[in-house]
Structure 1
Amino acid sequence: MTDSADRSAIVHGASATGAQAVGASVLGALALGAVALGAIAVGALAIGRLRIGKARITRLHIDELHIGRIVGPGRD
Structure 2
Amino acid sequence: MESIVYEEFGGPDVLHLAEVDAPRPGPGQVRVAVRAAGVNPLDHKIRSGRMEAAFPTHTRRGAGRGGRRGGGGRHRLRPR
- Taking structure 1 as the reference length, the TM-score comes to 0.21
Q: Which has the higher contact order (CA 8 A, sep 6+)?
A: 2
Structure of higher CA gyration radius: 1
Which structure: greater helix fraction? 1
Which structure: greater strand fraction? 1
